[in-house]
Amino acid sequence: MASTLTVDKIKGGSSGVALTLPTTDGSAGQLLKTDGSAVLSWATDVDTGITSVAADTTPQLGGDLDCNGAQIQWSKGADVASATALPVLTDGNYFDVTGTTTVTSINTTGGAGTLIKLHFDAILILTHHATDLILPSGANITTAAGDEAEFIEYDTGDYRCTSYTKADGRALIAPTNNAITSTAQAFTEDQTFEAITETVTAKSAGFTPDLSNDGTVYNVTGAVAVTMPTAESGKSFTIIASAPVSSWTGTIKWASATVPTGTGICIYTFVSDGTNWYAFEAGNAFG
């Protein structure tokens, strides 16, 4: 036979505290709660902890974040209409910028250290500023549709562009188109170099090579006599003769100490160390 035990207090052991029980039944899910004076009552459980990451508005890490094979992704925010102070919101960190209004600054987003990326849908001007909007070129940038830029908020409301990619793939700052002057170089005895301006001079009678134009090529017709000029360090010249030179006047140190006796078209090359002329026959009997 069923029986009911009615008590208004319970006590654990002879030395325990007698707890006064509530006189009514609580609601579903409620817990017994003490008031600190040995009186129990029904109470609804209140979770004071964080139930999700989204609920924590100031999360902090105590160590390195392990992504556990997952990704940390950029979040696409609502499109932003271009304005003098670009009104970027905090609903993401990747935004499409619409319109053509010149931008001189960006409003604060998450504070210093916040990264944002902008995709420009049209042509507008980003105005460089030493603190408000620091651009990589140190000058204004005219955007094109499809250009993208990354910014870091390095101080509250102050941004530095850390990357800018043009839609057409060209560099933001075009390389300087410096003119390139190609000149031959003469190697002198003291291992210094001087520019050589080569000229071609025709000769049909005996002559003395002119050293004012270093590296001159003499195109000689017929068998002529050549008188050597005074040796000057680093000077050189070449003779292309339709026939072997008839005579050489002056001191010449020929290769193998032998004056060439070629036939047909002959090529002679000379170079000076300031004391002597050194020479060799580059070839003869050309067709």
pLDDT of amino acid 181: 56
Reply yes or no on whether the pLDDT at 177 is more than 80: no
Q: What is the DSSP letter of 174?
A: P
In the chain the domains, ranked by start, together with CATH numbers, are 80-165 (2.60.120), 185-286 (no CATH)
Reply yes or no on whether the pLDDT at 189 is more than 60: no
Whether the CB-CB separation of 280 and 255 falls below 8 Å is answered with yes
CA gap 21, 39 in Å, rounded: 7
How distant is the alpha carbon of residue 188 from its chain centre? 41
The DSSP string of 46-106 is ---S--SGGG-SS---SS----TT------B---EE--SEE---SS-SEEEEES---B-EE
The pTM assigned to this predicted structure is 0.46
pLDDT of amino acid 125: 96
Listed residue (98, 154, 100, 99) closest to 129, CA to CA: 154
| Average pLDDT of the chain to the nearest whole number | 86
Residues 25-84 have pLDDT tens digits of 888 888 888 888 888 888 887 766 666 777 777 778 888 888 888 888 889 999 999 999
Quote the Cα angle for 166-91-168, to 5°: 10
Mean pLDDT over residues 198-226, rounded? Answer: 88
Listed residue (265, 269, 217) closest to 244, CA to CA: 265
Partners of 141 in the β-ladder = 126
Mean pLDDT over residues 142-160, rounded? Answer: 95
Residues 6+ apart with CB under 8 A from 58: none
Reply yes or no on whether the pLDDT at 188 is more than 90: no
For 6, the token pair is: 């009615």
CA gap 222, 234 in Å, rounded: 28
For 203, the token pair is: 């000769």
Listed residue (226, 227, 236) closest to 271, CA to CA: 236
Residues 97-132 have pLDDT tens digits of 999 999 999 998 888 999 999 999 999 999 999 999
